[in-house]
Structures are given as structure tokens and as C-alpha cells.
Structure 1
């Protein structure tokens, strides 16, 4: 057993999953086992995993779609309880470059033992930075860029290549599975960065090969995706109330601005979109999901 487990969450994207696994198996200078959480895919993912079987590959299928948040909570817990020393989290459309893991481990030696997490630089398939995966230097501002070789202090990061030690998970708990989708990675990484220094590693590079390049903006998104935003606005309350009064002010200003965008935009169903923003905000005020640690039920 390798000391590191790459935890990959997948749902009905077997072609991308196969590429992700190939990239993980092609890491140079460092290796890892692979733990795939298959959120009850119906596209032949289970059959694909059988063809890719090997001592380095395990899979879990919870029997239903837990969403990305539930999948990561399940996978991280399984990896920690199995005895892995570290976990490397990513979606199934993450394609790590051959030296991505080795760069993370070099940075770990540089920053010392008391760090919280390390995050990779995410690119699109054309080699440009993925704006949706840019880490935050404060809860409200992205990092400036990826120039230089020094690790960049960061406070939030996505699950598109996030590395941390198992002991950190034991200390701070698992991702909140009840989020289902959206903001689970921001909340998890911010929970840790409030207490420990965390870093972006420019030399660790992955391609985020998003299959559906849809915009994350309720004022511009298509009607069939609107229900997803109930998680976005609800979960953000849990995330930002942890910042105290500044977080509440940020939430109110953000949701008000999104409402203005809906009212002044050309989108249909304006009333429905406004209702989602503010009813979900209210749901978030009442939403207090527990922070579980591995082994707790």
C-alpha cells in the first residue's frame, strides 16, 4: 500500500475518469493508490473500473448519488480509516501532469509539518488558468497569480487537486457531505486555514478538463440547472457565517448583487430565480450540519 491515496469522485463520466486514472498512474517521482467513489453511475463506470483493476485501485459505490460533497466525505473517511498517511482529492475531470504529486511533496518538505493543505494550479485544456479554480488569498479575494516558484499563502481552494495529511482530517473533520454540491471545498479548506497556514503550489499543475463549460451564475444559467443553486446559496451561509460580521455583510451584498443581475438581465423566470436566492439564504440560516470526524456516526 502506498502512503498516499488519491480520492476521485465520479458520476457518469467514465471517459474522463479513465483519463484521470491514467494520469494518476503516470505520476513521476512519487506514487499513490487510487480510491474512486462512484456515485451510482449508470453509464458503465462500474464495468470500466473492472477493466482497470489493479492492486493500486479501489472503488466504493454508495448505491446512490451523494453529490460531490457526499462523495468526498465518504472517500476521505475511507482512505483515513484504511491507514493512508495522506489524501489527494480531485474530481474525475482532473488530469494531473506527471510531476504534480512530486511537486506537492517537495513543497511539503519546504513548508514544514504544521501546514493545513496544499493546492495545485489548475489549467484548462488550452493551457490557460481555470478561473473557477483560482485559490483565495482572503475569503473574498482571489490570489493574484502563479508567478514565481514559492508557495503562495492561500485560505480557500477547490477539490481540483487538494493534498493534506490524514492527521489534519482527524483534527478538523471531514468535508460536509450534507452540502451535496457546491461550497463544500471552500468550507473545508477555510475551516482548516483559519488555524493553519495553507498554500498554493504553482509547480504542481493539473488540467481541469471540464466536460460541460457551463457558467455558474444564476442570472445567466439555463432553466434546467436552476435547482442546483439552492445548494449554492444555502451552503454559502454556512461558509461565510464563520467569518463573523464581515461574512454576513459579504453574504447580503453578494446575494443582493445577484438579485440585481437577475432583475436587469434578460433571463426568463426572474421570480423563480429571485426566490431561489432568498429562500435558500433563509434555509442556510437554519442549516447547521455537523462536522464529523472519521469513524464517527
Structure 2
């Protein structure tokens, strides 16, 4: 069954922030302007060295600021925030985004409307993310679900959506029951592919919807996709993709072959466009070497943080501790 349209769900927004206080201010103003405001807003401060945490504490839309002792990257920040939202704030759905995301006033309302109208449980509903000039941001385009049935495609179309297999962490609404079932993002990914692995895990057997009527702006410094040379961060890209394809249960055999092939093609394009191919290849080798060691559990990574008990509760409930 879908979300009961007669029951108002408790929705908690989670924002992960790190040293971008001016963008965070725009993000929080956007949350405050929602036509369907979140019932609580949790800001995870990833050990910022600017005044992001103080700014968040002063903002009237913010319910709680959790400052982590060290920067755990997007992966750790979202794992902490999702756990806090569900275990401590009683979220029935969790709306997550980075601090450089600015939602338009109806962003949350459109996501929730699609979830309510869809004839079944929706594990993930994703917004359309645009860059500053309104173009859809290629970094955040959800992956369509391959081989979707006509029935599922029509059900999604009737609520103004499209079926998806994965999405980025830039404005997605997560079902709390799906979180309890599948656990949290793998915090040890730090950055890159943490959102791919997590949403693909939630959507291996769950329903994901891309809802283009829900719109946000992703205010990255430049407009570009994931095939631009990332420099030293390519270590994380390679390591995390190796973890995803080799150790995660997010993908089935067909998905794994499909996405591994598309990843290889993207890396070839990245290498061709790189201004320092030798350095990029070196980062790739370092990533492969690092992938030989399995990622630590999210419980272990976030053990010495203010949300340790919340993380342990969710991960143990999902059998992932």
C-alpha cells in the first residue's frame, strides 16, 4: 500500500554542512519557505571550521545541530543525520540534502504528493536538481530503472514521476521503514558513490520515483558531470566503486554488469579529457589498492560521535552492525 493520504506523516529534513556557511544560509531559508514545511530540521555539522554550526543554531527553522568531532564526509554525515532523524526525532520519512542545495517552495510538497498518490510504498523519491542557470544538473540525474514493467511505468507516470534505480543525495525523500530494513549509508565511503550504493540498496527491491515537479538548485561551483577529472578524489571513486561492485548487496548480477560497463566507459572518457593522465592513473591504482580492505561498519566509523547510539540502533535493527 502507498502512504495513507489521510494520515499526515512526520517528515524530518537532514542537511549535511561543511564550511559553506553562505550556501547553508540559503539552504535553510529555502527550508523555511516550504509550503509543506518539515516537522523538524537536523543539521549535521561535519566539524566545520567556519561559523556554519553557529549560523544553523540561530536559524529559526532548525530543530537541532549535531556537530561531529571530525569530518566524516558526505557518507558519514548522511548516515549520522538519517539515524538521528529516525531513531531520535521519530521520522516517518527523511528528506536529505547537502548545504549547497536550495529547495524551491514546493519541493517537499511535490515529493510527498507523489508518494501519497502512488499505489504502493515508495522507498525513495528524488527531486529535479538544476544548476544556477536552470539547466538540469548532470551530477544529480537519477539512473532510470532498466527493464521496468509497463504497469510500473504507468503507475509512476500517473503521479507525474518516472521509475528510477538510484539517485544522488541532493534532495531525496526516504521512507523510514525502508531505512530500518536496509540500514544506513556506508560511512567509510567518505565521498563518491555513497549515494549510488545506498539508494541502489534501498531500491533493489523497492520503488524509486523521479519527481521533476519537485525542484531544487544545486549550487556547485561549476556545471559538469561525473566524468570530469576529479584529481586526488579519484582514489575514492575507484575504491568505492570496487567496494560497490565487489562487496555490496545493492546490485544484482545484471545491474552489476550494466553499471560496471558504464563506469568503465566513463573512466575512459575521464582519462581522455584529463590534463594529467599519469596522475589520474596513479590515483586509480591507489584506489584499487585501498579497495582490498573492506569498509568498516558504519557503527564503527561513527562510534565516537553524538549519534553513536542512534546509528547502532538502526544498523543493528537492519542486521548490518
Structure-1-length-normalised TM-score: 0.84
1:239 corresponds in structure 2 to 244
Shift of 1:30: 4.3
85 and 248 in structure 1: CA distance in 2 versus 1, 3 angstrom threshold = same
2:197 corresponds in structure 1 to 187
80 and 126 in structure 1: CA distance in 2 versus 1, 3 angstrom threshold = same
Please give the root-mean-square deviation of Cα atoms over the aligned residues, in Å: 2.8
244 and 99 in structure 1: CA distance in 2 versus 1, 3 angstrom threshold = same
- Contact (CA 8 Å) 2:31, 2:37: kept in 1 or not? no
1:143 corresponds in structure 2 to none
Equivalent residue of 2:19, what SS? coil
The separation in 2 between residues aligned to 1:260 and 1:30, in whole angstroms, is 42
After superposition, the C-alpha distances for 1:120-139 in whole angstroms (9 at most, x for unaligned) are 11111211111111110147
Structure 2: stretches of 5+ with no match in the other structure: 1-8, 148-156, 300-310
- The question of 1:111 aligning with 2:118 is answered yes
1:49 corresponds in structure 2 to 56
Q: Pick from 227, 231, 237: which aligns with 1:226?
A: 231
2:275 corresponds in structure 1 to 267
215 and 29 in structure 1: CA distance in 2 versus 1, 3 angstrom threshold = closer
The separation in 1 between residues aligned to 2:265 and 2:104, in whole angstroms, is 40
Structure 1: stretches of 5+ with no match in the other structure: 141-146
- Contact (CA 8 Å) 1:173, 1:294: kept in 2 or not? no
- Contact (CA 8 Å) 2:188, 2:298: kept in 1 or not? no
61 and 256 in structure 1: CA distance in 2 versus 1, 3 angstrom threshold = same
2:134 corresponds in structure 1 to 127
The separation in 2 between residues aligned to 1:165 and 1:245, in whole angstroms, is 26
The separation in 1 between residues aligned to 2:158 and 2:137, in whole angstroms, is 18
Higher mean C-alpha deviation, range 89-98 or range 207-216: 207-216
Equivalent residue of 1:68, what SS? helix
The separation in 1 between residues aligned to 2:69 and 2:21, in whole angstroms, is 17
183 and 261 in structure 1: CA distance in 2 versus 1, 3 angstrom threshold = closer
Q: Pick from 199, 220, 233: which aligns with 1:210?
A: 220
1:1-297 matched pairs, under 5 angstroms: 3-53=10-60, 56-82=62-88, 83-138=90-145, 150-213=160-223, 216-217=226-227, 221=229, 226-241=231-246, 242-244=251-253, 247=256, 250-251=259-260, 254-255=263-264, 258-259=267-268, 262=271, 264-265=272-273, 267-268=275-276, 270-290=277-297, 294-295=312-313, 296=316
The separation in 1 between residues aligned to 2:289 and 2:34, in whole angstroms, is 45
Shift of 1:34: 0.9
Shift of 1:275: 2.3
The separation in 2 between residues aligned to 1:72 and 1:37, in whole angstroms, is 8
